[in-house]
Structure 1
Amino acid sequence: MADKCDLCLLGLIILSSLLTGTSGVYVFISSGENVSLSCNEALSDCKSTTWTYSNSFRRSGRVELITGGIKNKDTERHERLSLESDCSLNIKNVTVEDSGLYICSQYVNREKQGPDANVFLNVLHVLVYSSSSSSSSSSSSSSSSQTEISPGRSVTLSCQLYTLYPCDFWVSFDRLKLLWVNQAGVDLKTDSRYQILSSSDQDRCIIITLTTTLLNEDDNREWRCQLTRRDQLETSVRYTVKYSDPADTASETEVSVTAGSLYRDPTVEYLCIDGI
């Protein structure tokens, strides 16, 4: 019941923003990158600036990251935060836990100045699982670590978009899409050696997995997970297979993140209610 009430509240918040003209900014970025979130119409003195964060639409769940232009040291991410001269919020080395709603508010003498700036941060992340017929164990890595693999092993790459809310409506209306492509940009669904599956859950808006058995010729082969919105590329994660010297029994792969593009739409809000 509580979850359904939260969804109703979410719908009312976004519907209200549509009716009143309040805008929001949608930012898509890959984990491990740095991002700057803009505070619209910020005053020249950032001492008037407050940034809050929430991964739900419960007001009680909001956390103040910046108060009066000063970082709150009680938050886990405070070392990765900083303010620009225009009061934009910088986040270094973005993680999936950073996805959510960021609100910039301005106060002078405790009186609110102008409308809030609402920024929805959505994070693209890849997990890597490797296994072989001789071992049932699997390993996972984020977009900045390494996984031991070798030819003959089965590898699964799980590309996941973390967002704030259940987004069936948002995905269908805004045409959000994840796909795995090769270096030439060709969709890997067209190649029978790859098994591609799509799904979603409560925390991850879209999940697309690629599973294949590694071949000798896969050394230095690159696969990319791309996020598109309205058929336009938003951000991507690149995965490159790197085999070690053949004399070594251990092999390794590197995952690197491409520069993610940011999408900012100052005029559009999206109603995203599960079941509509």
Structure 2
Amino acid sequence: MISIFRSAAEKSLSVQQLIDGQEMLVLVLVLVVVLQFEGTRGKIHLYHREGENVVLPCNSPSSYYLCSIINWLYNRDMSPHRTEVKNGKVDQSSSRASRLNLDNSCSLMINNITADDAGLYGCIPGSGFTIDGVFLNVLTISDADPTKEDFTLQCSLWRYGGLTSCPQKSFRWFDETGSELTSKNDDRSSRQRCFSSLTVKHQSDTNRRFTCQFVEGNEVKVEVQYTHHVIRQVHLYHRAGDEAVLPCNRPSSSDSCSSVDWIYQSNKNMNRKQEVHRGMVQSSPRSARMSLDRKCSLIINNITAEDVGRYSCGYNTDVYLNMMIISPSPTDADPAKEDFTLLCSLVRDGEFGSCPDKSFLWLDETGSELTGEDDEYKSGGQIGCVSYLTVNLQSSRRFTCQFVEGNKVKIEAHYGSEGPPASSPLSFIMLTLKITGLILMVGITVGIIRTRGRKKPQKDVNVHFAVDGDSVNYENDGERSAAAALY
């Protein structure tokens, strides 16, 4: 360590641009004298996890030294040192100045440490003949891709590049039960870090927690944990034009959607798009069809093929939207004039783009499965996620296509000139409405006829008077008042 700072000081003397004025030159000269007499107080090794706050001691009691004369130097790998604190003030030109500070004892505080903070730090108290060397070691653990069948965790101890290599078996791995994992790890060492890798078999049914320890002389210096969260996959199946509600699986304790972001990806090879940011739907060609409900679920109205894909709002849940389409081929075929072929397609995310064989079933209006061939139809089989059925001239027929997965019908679509099959609830409702309407029409007609039958015309009454040879006739014509006629 002494030679390290001696080298740094000598380079500071030879490279004038690294010397900031006369005070810095005096400081470096003092440092050279200090290092020549090896007046160091000792080496301090600190071990911390990435993200923690650390305090590097200066061992300079405030009653003896004023922090205004304290300087902190930093060296990563025997390269020229950097001055992080000069005369008690943090150098604002440093890329990490916002995370550095001095406490009342002139110790250097670093907030939210990263692997780049690892290295050797030196505290020089003004013109004193002592120097404190602090080695900061930072332990990190890599993230893993939870979608892969197997994934590898990597535990790294980042440190000063001038130290010797880490001894063998410096790392230990444990699972969530505390059992040591000894047969699956691989330890290695490079100039600025020692690291160990652990390959884990993916398990989709439960969360896993792994602990990495760095050990020195059978003493655990630092440890870090990684929790492998199982990503819950939700598959939704809808028909074109439906309204789809994509659940967010957000904790019930959350009161607002202001922290919710919805990310969309049409397939794994396409870029991800942010459809919702902090609870607000972002501008896009389909933003008018999107909204959030009170549970922060994403609602998409009148879905089309462009809505199919993978959605995520975080909270360890991915929602896959699948859509079924049934149509004649060609689309302008006239079922009343010619035979035609029905196409039943399941549009889905590219990651799940393939469909197992025999995933589609065709049914007629009686619920009978249509397989093979007869006088009225011919099954065209399945290619990928598309199934074909050729139908003879049967304009009044109705057909149902079902997508089946694991012996369970995920979704079905109907085609027919008279609507859905008679066995469906909608058909029952329509039939009931037709019968009700017919009964009302008959009842109204009968009522009108009866009402008119009760209005009988009055009998014609003619009254004849003869007075002194003249006669007067009174006639009743039913609608008009009696009129007198003189003869």
Compute the TM-score of the two structures, normalised by the length of structure 2: 0.39
How many Å separate the matches in 1 of 2:39 and 2:88? Answer: 28
Say which SS state the counterpart of residue 68 (structure 2) adopts: helix
Describe the superposition over 1:229-272 as per-residue Cα deviations: whole angstroms up to 9, x where unpaired. 21111111111121243416679799xxxxxxxxxxxxxxxxxx
Letter in 2 for 1:30: R
Mapped partners of 2:173, 2:51: distance in 1: 19
CA contact 1:128–1:155 (8 Å) conserved in 2: no
Residue 127 (str. 1) matches residue 150 (str. 2): no
Could you tell me whether the CA contact under 8 Å between 1:226 and 1:235 is conserved in 2? Answer: yes
Matched AA of 1:236: E
How has the CA–CA distance of structure 1 residues 238 and 253 changed in structure 2, closer, same or farther, with 3 Å as cutoff? farther
SS in 1 for 2:234: coil
Query: What is the aligned counterpart of 1:27 among 46, 53, 59?
Result: 46
The DSSP-based 3-state class of the residue aligned with 1:165 is coil
Which residue is equivalent to 2:413? none
Mean Cα deviation higher: 243-252 or 113-122: 243-252
1:253–1:211 distance in 2 versus 1, CA, 3 Å: farther
The answer on 1:80 being equivalent to 2:99 is yes
Pairing 1:202–2:217 present: no
**How has the CA–CA distance of structure 1 residues 39 and 20 changed in structure 2, closer, same or farther, with 3 Å as cutoff?**
closer
Structure whose CA Rg is larger:
2
Question: How far apart in 1 are the matches of 2:311 and 2:221?
Answer: 35
What are the within-5 Å matches in structure 2 for residues 89-238 of structure 1? 89-107=108-126, 112-130=127-145, 149-150=146-147, 153-165=149-161, 167-168=163-164, 171-172=166-167, 177-190=170-183, 195-204=184-193, 206-217=194-205, 219-238=206-225
Contact 2:55 2:107 in 1 (8 A): yes
Q: Write the letter of the residue equivalent to 1:125.
A: T
Do structure 1's residue 37 and structure 2's residue 25 form an aligned pair? Answer: no
Q: Is the 8 A contact 2:59 2:105 kept in 1?
A: no
Unaligned residue ranges in structure 1 (runs of 5+)? 11-15, 131-148, 255-276
The residue number in structure 2 matching 1:55 is 76
Report sequence identity in percent: 25
1:258 — aligned with what?
none
Give CA-to-partner distance per residue, 1:83-113, whole Å, 9 cap, x none: 1111111101111111111001111xxxx11
Supply the AA of the counterpart residue of 2:96. Answer: R
Q: For residue 56 of structure 1, report the CA deviation from its aligned partner.
A: 2.6
Contact 1:244/1:250 (CA < 8 Å) preserved in 2? no
Q: Are the structure 2 counterparts of residues 66 and 77 from structure 1 closer, same or farther at C-alpha, using a change threshold of 3 Å?
A: same
Instruction: Find the aligned partners of 2:56 and 2:221 in 1 and give their Cα distance.
Output: 16
How much is the aligned-residue C-alpha RMSD, in angstroms?
3.1
Q: Which amino acid aligns with 1:159?
A: C
- For the residues of structure 1 that align with 2:227 and 2:47, how far apart are their CA atoms? 22
Distance 1:71 1:100, change over 3 A: same
Preserved contact between residue 80 and residue 93 of structure 1 (Cα < 8 Å): yes
Note the alpha carbon deviations across 1:180-199, whole angstroms, 9 max, x for none: 11123322125xxxx31111
89-98 or 40-49: bigger deviation: 40-49
- Find the aligned partners of 1:73 and 1:203 in 2 and give their Cα distance: 26
Report the TM-score, using the length of structure 1 for normalisation: 0.67
Distance 1:176 1:24, change over 3 A: farther
The letter for the 1-side match of 2:223 is S
Contact 1:43–1:106 under 8 Å retained in 2: no
Shift of 1:20: 6.6
Q: Is the 8 A contact 1:180 1:223 kept in 2?
A: yes
SS at match of 2:52: coil
Residues 60 and 106 in structure 2, CA contact (< 8 A), matched pair in contact too: no
Does the 8 A contact of 1:156 with 1:211 survive in 2? yes
CA distance in 1 between counterparts of 2:210 and 2:76 reads 31
Letter in 1 for 2:159: T
Distance in 1 (CA, whole Å) between partners of 2:164 and 2:311 is: 42
Number of matched pairs: 210
Distance 1:30 1:242 in 2: 20
Stretch of structure 1 that moved more, 77-86 or 228-237: 228-237
* d(CA) in 1 for partners of 2:61, 2:125: 7
Where relative contact order (Cα < 8 A, 6+ residues apart) is larger, the structure is 1
Alpha carbons 1:50, 1:67 under 8 Å: kept: yes
Secondary structure, aligned partner of 2:120: strand
TM-fit CA distance, 1:65: 0.8
Pair 1:176–1:164, CA change in 2 (3 A): farther
For residues 74 and 40 of structure 2, the distance between their equivalents in structure 1, rounded to whole angstroms, comes to: 22
Determine the C-alpha separation between the residues in 2 that align with 1:166 and 1:72.
25
1:85 and 1:186 mapped to 2: Cα distance?
A: 44
Q: Secondary structure in 2 aligned to 1:185?
A: coil
Pairwise CA distance, 1:227: 1.0
